[in-house]
Structure formats: structure tokens, C-alpha cells
Structure 1
Amino acid sequence: MKRLITLSFSLVMVVALLMTSGMQIFAEGSVVAPTDDDWLHVEGTNIVDKYGNKVWLTGANWFGFNCRERMLLDSYHSNIIADIEIVADKGINVVRLPIATDLLYAWSRGQYPPSTDTSYNNAALEGLNSFELFSFMLENFKRVGIKVILDVHSAETDNMGHTAPLWVNGNITEDIFKAAWVWAANYYKNDDTIIGFDLKNEPHTNAGTLKILSQSAIWDDSSRPTNWKRVAQETALEILKVHPNILIFIEGVEMYPKDGLWDDESFDTSPWTGSNDYFGNWWGGNLRGVKDHPIQLGKYQSQLVYSPHDYGPMVFEQEWFKGNFITAGDEQAKNILYEQCWRDNWAFIMEDGISPLLLGEWGGLTEGEDKLLELNKKYLRSIRDYIIENKYTLHHTFWCINIDSADTGGLFTRGEGTAFPGGRDLKWNDNKYDNYLLPTLWRNSQGKFIGLDHKIPLGKNGVALGGGSAPVNYGDLNGDGQVNSTDSILLKSYLLGLSQNIDTEAADLNLDGSINSIDFTILKRYLLGLVTELPLYGN
């Protein structure tokens, strides 16, 4: 049965490519990359490639396969292939791709629900069912050097499905949730286009101020059906037995008891009648439980990354956006957010050396007349700067690319922005991108975006991650395992033409392809403690 499906999909791909008008899907001379050399793992609080080189996941979310349309929703408005290309050209090296459990489970059983037909915009998509369409998207992400994190956003394909608090809903049971993930792990285990699985988007409590434990995600070591820590750990272990190379991203919950004990079958969070016994945060953003009950994956621990979400006041006016935050300057505002929210909910995880973090969702509106807009932009500047300060330990995927997100807006817009070929009535939101996302993207000293594929450059303005080689010990010019004054003397001799006996790769300290006085200055500053990390990527 699987061979017949594969053959059918191959034929569909050929026909789709022949039908495409005015859009070259696979560029002449494009690199054909291996599918198994880009797996990532964790070392300490860094994510590294197979050679131990640090990487920085700097991406964005693109939803639609979690919705009833079962497609990237911008297909309604534009040529989706052109959209993928501009996303790569803008330096987004990973896309967090929401999907629903019921769709994965259907595919695992050989059932392929239809996607909404957008062939009037996208001739190449005509006749493709949801599985064929998803595969087609993956091929195009791969072609332009973008990696994918697959995110179960909801139990059921429903545009509002993410509001359900748990990973179970309707006909989707815990067993089906696990089975769907294990199928995905087995199916994609030989294709490193998908580098990670975000097991469940935003586990949270039931609606209203009266919280019911039997309806809410909790985090402890119990066997309760709603214990997200238990379910996440068990699901991760089942996945990793099948696919030991995949990164596992585990989000937090919403509430956590101040005494660490989930001993109330219900509790009141009302500011007027509640007992104030629980810490609250954004859905999925409360990882306080990691301190008491960390995820334990045994021999697979190096595949674990914790993943909070965080937003500004225009999504919800949390308490930390009131009081002193209102009049604070940017640096003080960032400190307020750190002290009142980030540190104790999730930042401690990277600070205490437990794990790197992926900030799976952040972002917000940057235009309009809302009374909270200026505070929202202050928040965005704060989280932007905090991400930059924690390069390599704090990875992120911005919410979102889509034009369809009502409370955050997207990188695509119909307002002011730059039109692009194939975008039709979509434009690129230069204001949002230039001021908030661009500064947080991974770039080298020449301003080129750094992708996560070792062979395929990231779009037209990026570079590949690098060839297959052992990690370079930058600054160690004589190969003695240390970076010290001897290396400085050797580099000076090299620049004066007195000696050529150095490791030239280790001497290129800003990765600009040449060895010159800039590298010498960087090395001197490193030895003086003014630079703390080599190589020195330019931002």
C-alpha cells in the first residue's frame, strides 16, 4: 500500500511541476542535499549540529494545516511558492508548522482528507490532497534551505482548536495522540527537512476563573490523565525509540501551584474571590514545574529543548504590563519583564544550565490605533533585545508569517509594505520585520543569513551551514587546543608575511572569507576579555 501511495505522489509531483506557469519550482543547478546530515542535538545549553558546531534557530510560525482548510492559508491570496521563497530570502531559517493530531492520525491510516482548492492562485496545487500538499510544501522548504519544526497545535483540525486546553479532545484520545506522533517519527525519520517536533501547543486550563483539575493541564510526577509532564515524557520516549535524531520541544502549562502541590480538585483564580495560590502565565509559558519535575529522557536527553510562549499586552494585558512598565524606558521595561515573568517561568532553565530554550511564539501588532499599541511595541523591543542577548541559548520562532492572525498580525500584510512577485495582494510588512524580527535572525559578519542545511543556502541572501567537518577551534592557530598570546603572535607574523604556518580556517574570526587586521583586532579583544565568543558573527 505504501509503495502505491509513493508512486501516486511522485506522479502528482511531476504533473504539478509541468502545470506550473510562470514559476520555476526547482531552479536550474540547484543543490540536491542529503537528507540525513542536518540532524541537531543539545550540548549543555546550546543546540549543535552533528559536528558539534553551535547553531541558532531563528524562525517564524506559518499555520494552516491545523485548520479546516488543511493548507498554508496564504494560498488563498498569493502564489504559495513565491511566499516560501520570500520567507527564505528574508532569512527565516526554520518554520514552526502547526498541524492537528487528527490529520496526522488520518494519514497514518492511509486516509487523506482534502485541502481547500486554491489552484486559481496555484496551478501546481491542483488536485493535491492534504498529504500530497503537505509533502509538496516540505519539498519547497527544502529547496530554499528552510527547516521545519512540526507542531501539534490542536487535537482536531479546527481554526479555533488551539483554545481546547488539552492534547485530547473529541475522538482524539491520549493513545491516538501518541500513535500519531510515532507514525510521524517513523515516516520522516530519514528526511531532515523536519528537524524537530513540538509535541503540543499551549497546554492550559479550562476557561473561566474557576479551574477544574480534570479539565486542565498540570505538571507533576503523578499519573493523572491531565498531567502534561507525564504525557510529554512518555510520548517523547516513544518517538525517540523510532527516531532518535529528532529534537523534541516541550512547552509548559498555564498555572503552577505556589507550594508545588496539585492538591485542589478546583481552584479560583478570580482577583476578587480567588486565594492567589497559583502562579499564572501565558498558555504554554509556565515551565516552573521543570525545577521540581524535569523531563527525564534517559539516553535521549540530548534531544530535549523546553519551549515557552510569550506575548505583549495587545494579546492579553497581564499584570506585568501595568504599573511601572507603562512609564519605563526600554532597558527598565526589559528588566521588569524579566523579574516579573521571564526569569521564574522559563529563563532559569537556560541560566541554570538545564537546557536551551526555543521561544516558540512571540510577536504582535505593530500598526494601528489601539490604545495599547505603544506598550506592545515596547514589549516587542524588550523581548527582541533579550533574545539577542541570549544568542545560541534562546532560539525562537516569531508569530507569525500569515496574514490571518487577528491579535498579532503577520509578516504578510495588505497595509504598508513591499510588494513581491507572486504575492498578488500580499505585501511584506517591512515595519514589523525590519524593527523586530530582522535583528534577531542569524547572520554572519557579511550580513548573510545562516541556514541550518549544510548544503543548501538559505534563499537568495543566505548561506549554508557549512561542510561536513570537525568543529573549528577559532583562534587556536597552532592547534595546541588553547587560544592565547601565542596565537596572537602567530597571526601578527602571518599578516606581516613572516610566517604562513597557521590554521587559516581558525584565523578567520569573523567568517568573512579573508584573514586581515580585523581578525587580529578580534583576537586581541578576545584575549582581553572584551569579546567572549569566537567566531564573532556580525549582526
Structure 2
Amino acid sequence: MKKLIIFSVLLVLLVALLPTPGLQISAETTNVGAPDDDWLHVENGYIVDKYGNKVWLTGANWFGFNCREMMLLDSYHSDIIADIQIVADKGINVVRLPIATDLLYSWSKGIYPMSTDTSYNNPILAGLNSFELFNLMLENFKKVGIKVILDVHSPETDNMGHNHPLWYKGEITEEIFKAAWVWVANYYKNDDTIIGFDLKNEPHTNTGTLKFKSQSAIWDDSDHKNNWKRVAQETALEILKVHPNVLIFVEGVEMYPKDGKWDDESFDTSPWTGTNDYYGNWWGGNLRGVRDYPIDLGKYQSQLVYSPHDYGPIVYEQSWFAGDFVTASDEEAKKILYEQCWRDNWAYIMEEGISPLLLGEWGGITEGNHKLLDLNLKYLRCIRDFILENKYKLHHTFWCINIDSADTGGLFTRDEGTPFPGGRDLKWNDNKYDNYLLPVLWKNEEGKFQGLDHEIPLGKNGVPLPKGTSPVTPTKTPVTPTPTSTPTPTPSNVIKGDINGDGEINSIDYAILKSYLLGLTKNLPAEDELAVADLNGDKEINSIDYALLKMYLLGMIKDFS
């Protein structure tokens, strides 16, 4: 109990260190987990935890911070904290959270735009700006055991911003795109609620059948400004320099030349006048270029996961949904989809052990009278079964939780479904969930939903990840406890916590360390910075050390063991 109390206080102190506007926190549960225990990486074609145990990311998308409202849009209709609770209770262990570059960049500059006011449904949100609201959502995800993948969905906060094909637009340059990501990485590097960054949603080409290289995302080894492979690789490396523990998700493009050479300034994709020398797929879903030009992250390669998107015919009537697919059985239809789309666009990447995959978006309409509904349901059954057949290699986030998606519908609905406390006029879409998402959610042998947190259970119906006994890639060096009640001198007679080297540990040391962590000073006075300031022995100087020093000065701990 003593350890739990001390650790809870430590977390409070960590929050106090962060230069964040006032933050309100609310959730029915009082779970508190370690801030850096759940980082993931890739080994032998699988995503694994710090102990080398395979994990399966099975989640859903929840958009709104990419929109002009700058919030989860279901706040309009319901108690958003209750919404988070039911999402966890239904076994969704990760939420892919779309956001816009301009909002992240504003936050990095200390500018916090106001989100749309939904305090009439959510009194707790009254007066919160977008940054405070975002952090409140993160805190409540953490409390119910949900992890987050942050996804830059568009350059600008715009409800239709995803239609823009590139990562830069207007004042949002490539440099700003990179800078925003590096800021996010640095700000959240000590909080494993956000376990991954999806660098850019659905890079694609310009609209129309006549495609222009100057307006479209390409994939090759050139220095072209629209080379998504180059920009993704460079951005990932900059991120990983400041946050080496985060997973990096890289989506594909839309078109890829059949000869692998982007030597056309324009090309015609019309079925009547086109030259048929480019492969097409869903926006972000074409990863054929990985075979010719793979992402190279050097020593950080274990943090890379490729991420295609895939949909059914109601979103767009692709060629593989015609012909034999129409009358095929489910098994035959799945083979058609695999051979005409999935295998060569992205499935080969997991099959050949190049990387695991995150199917970042899939889903679709499951009710109504749309003329293509039956084909759409056949597609959903096929992709669901393919995901299950490739468990642990093919991770996924379903599109979407929101009620607001016109061409897919959501897990929230106003039609037939089950009401839930706090949902007000929202219901849970049992048909969509039970038949398509539930079968591919991660469960343990007892049928409990499996979370991705080592301490916090996933909602009311789930369990935390088991802890291993010998981490494969330990993030901390074990520290031998000292039997004394005073800080332990190092072999060089340097005292841990004595930041300025005057032989005492006091408020001056505290102030110097704070200034250093906030970037106001670049170096500490001590000759051996780690010896005096790495108080928990993890070979880093960070906010955990700051919190420990504060606890020591307040008399809450007697040493740094």
C-alpha cells in the first residue's frame, strides 16, 4: 500500500511539472498506471511488449480533433466520459485519434484555440481550450485502459480536410509538419497512453482521372517534394531521436507505376483513354513501393509498422467488387479480394516478414437500403475473416466510433441499438459490433478482453497485459536499494540530487533541475550530469527524476533507491 501511495503522489508531481494549461480530470474509475511501462516494438514480424510478448492492437477510430470543432464530435450528443467508458467496456484496446497539423503546431507555440462548447451535455468540459480538452480525453482513456494512436489526418482543422492529398497546404509547410510531430513526440515521450504516431492519413493523388505528379503523393527514392516515402522516413527519424519508444505507422499512397519509376509529370487513369501503366488502390492503401523502396529507420527500425486502409463498395466501387465477386461465396470473394487487391498492395509485407501491418481504417455501412448493401456486407465478412486468420500480424482500427461518418456509419447510432448510461440520444450499434468488430477484438483464453496496459484493466470486461519476468529490451537499469536513510554518494563522491555540487540537496537543486527540464538551461552545473540527476537509474534525466527530487525535499522519501 505504501508503494501505491508513493507512486500515486509521483504521478501527481509529474503532471505538475508539465507546462500545461489547467486540466480537469474525471472518470468513474481511479486506475493509475505507470507512465512508461507499455511501450511496444517490433520483433520477427510481430508487435511485442517490453517483455517480448506478442500483442494485438484491435481498436477503432474516433475523429473530431481534426475538425473545426476540435473535440470528439460525439460530445454534441452525449456524456463523452460515459462514451469512453463504453468503448473500453466493449473491448476496444486502442483508439486511433485523428488530429490536424495546424492544431498541433499552435499548441507547440503556446496558442490554444477553443473547442466548440458542449458543456450543456458535459459540464466538466466548460471553459476548456482544445489542448486542455485533448489532455482530458487522454487522461480518461488512460483510466479505462485504452491506448491511443495519434493520426495527423489533414494539414488544417477542416471537416473535409482529409480530401487534400498531401501533408502540406498553405502555411502548413513540410517543415511545420515535421516540427509539429517532433513537438508532440517530445511532449508526450514520458506518457505511454499514446503508443504510436500515424504520420499522415491517406496520402493520395489529385482528383479526376488526369493525375499530376506536382499535386500527388508519390513513393520512390527521389528528393521530390511530394515523395511521401522520403518525408515519412525523415519525419520518423526526427521523432525517434527524441522519443525512441513510440511506434511509427506509415501509410501508403494511392497510385504506383507498374515499372516502379515516377518519370511522368502527368498520367491518365481513365478506363477509356488511359494507358493503364499505374496500379491504383484506396487512398493510403497502396504500399507496393515498399518492395522497391522500403522505409529505412536504421537503429530505430524496430519501431516501424506499415499501415494500409481498405473499404467496401459503398465507399467506392473498385474494380474488384465487380464481375465474379458479385455472385461469389464468401470464401471465393475473399480469394478475389486477396488476389486482386490485398496481396500485392500490402499483405505481402506481413507475409514476407518485412513488417506487421495496422489496417488503420476498415468498416462500412451495415444497415439500411443502399443498393450495394449486400456486397458491402460480403466485403466486411471477408476482411473480418482475413484479419482473424492473420492474428498478431494484422492489427486494425475500425472506422469508426463516431455517429458522424456518412459513408460508413458508426458504432454509435440513433437507429436500432442498445441505449447506455450517459449516451442520451446515442445507442450502441449491436449489429455492426456483434457481427463485424467483436469477432476480431483481442480476448484471452477466458474470453476477457485483452488490454495493452500492464496495470490497468481494459474497461469493466477486460484484463491488463500479463507482466513478464525478464524483459527482452529493458527500458530501465535495475537500481540496488541502499540501507541508509541518506542519498547514496556515487563512487566519485558525487551525491545524487546535489545538482549544483555544493554538498547539499535543497531548493536550489530543485530550481536548477526544473529550469533544465523546461529547456531554459542547456546544461547542469555538475560535471557528471547523470550521476547527480538520474535519480531513478534509467540512464535519462527527465520529469520522473524531478518528481523524485521534490518528494525527497518534502520528506516523502528518504533516498533515491
2:84 alignment partner in structure 1? 84
Shift of 1:7: 6.8
1:13 alignment partner in structure 2? 24
- Residue 95, structure 1, aligned to residue 127, structure 2: no
Give runs of aligned pairs for residues 381-400 of structure 1, distance below 5 A: 381-400=381-400
Shift of 1:469: 2.2
- Residue 441, structure 1, aligned to residue 441, structure 2: yes
Residues 416-473 of structure 1 deviation map (CA, whole Å, 9 limit, x = unaligned): 000000000000000000000000000012210000000000000000011242379x
Q: Distance in 1 between matches of 2:230 and 2:281?
A: 20
Q: Distance in 2 between matches of 1:325 and 1:4?
A: 58
1:72 alignment partner in structure 2? 72
Q: Distance in 2 between matches of 1:378 and 1:465?
A: 34
Q: Distance in 2 between matches of 1:4 and 1:240?
A: 25
Residues 157-188 of structure 1 deviation map (CA, whole Å, 9 limit, x = unaligned): 00000000000012100000000000000000
Shift of 1:138: 0.1
Give runs of aligned pairs for residues 261-340 of structure 1, distance below 5 A: 261-340=261-340
Change (3 A) 1:403 1:200: same
Contact kept? 1:71, 1:134, Cα under 8 Å: yes
Q: Distance in 1 between matches of 2:284 and 2:19?
A: 40
Letter in 1 for 2:173: T
Contact kept? 1:454, 1:468, Cα under 8 Å: no
Shift of 1:8: 6.4
Q: Distance in 1 between matches of 2:299 and 2:248?
A: 13
1:106 alignment partner in structure 2? 106
Q: Distance in 2 between matches of 1:8 and 1:311?
A: 39
Shift of 1:26: 4.1
Give runs of aligned pairs for residues 54-453 of structure 1, distance below 5 A: 54-453=54-453
Q: Distance in 2 between matches of 1:463 and 1:343?
A: 34
Q: Distance in 2 between matches of 1:177 and 1:167?
A: 7
Contact kept? 1:53, 1:471, Cα under 8 Å: no
Shift of 1:31: 2.9
Counting matched residue pairs gives: 459
Q: Secondary structure at the match of 1:353?
A: coil
Q: Distance in 2 between matches of 1:460 and 1:467?
A: 20
Letter in 2 for 1:245: N
Contact kept? 1:256, 1:280, Cα under 8 Å: yes
Change (3 A) 1:3 1:404: closer
Q: Distance in 1 between matches of 2:130 and 2:346?
A: 36
Residues 181-213 of structure 1 deviation map (CA, whole Å, 9 limit, x = unaligned): 000000000000000000000000001110000
Shift of 1:45: 1.2
Q: Distance in 2 between matches of 1:5 and 1:124?
A: 23
Q: Share of identical aligned residues, percent?
A: 80
Taking only aligned residues, the RMSD between alpha carbons, in angstroms, comes to 1.5
Shift of 1:32: 1.4
Q: Distance in 1 between matches of 2:129 and 2:208?
A: 38
Runs of 4+ in 1 over 3 A off after TM superposition: 2-10
Contact kept? 2:20, 2:132, Cα under 8 Å: no
Residues 62-105 of structure 1 deviation map (CA, whole Å, 9 limit, x = unaligned): 00000000000000000000000000000000000000000000
Q: Secondary structure at the match of 1:305?
A: strand
Q: Secondary structure at the match of 2:148?
A: strand
Contact kept? 1:45, 1:350, Cα under 8 Å: yes
Q: Distance in 1 between matches of 2:407 and 2:282?
A: 14
Q: Distance in 2 between matches of 1:46 and 1:339?
A: 23
Q: Secondary structure at the match of 2:345?
A: helix
Give runs of aligned pairs for residues 28-39 of structure 1, distance below 5 A: 30-39=30-39
Change (3 A) 1:467 1:154: same
Contact kept? 1:39, 1:195, Cα under 8 Å: yes
2:10 alignment partner in structure 1? none
Gaps of 5+ in 1: 18-24, 473-539
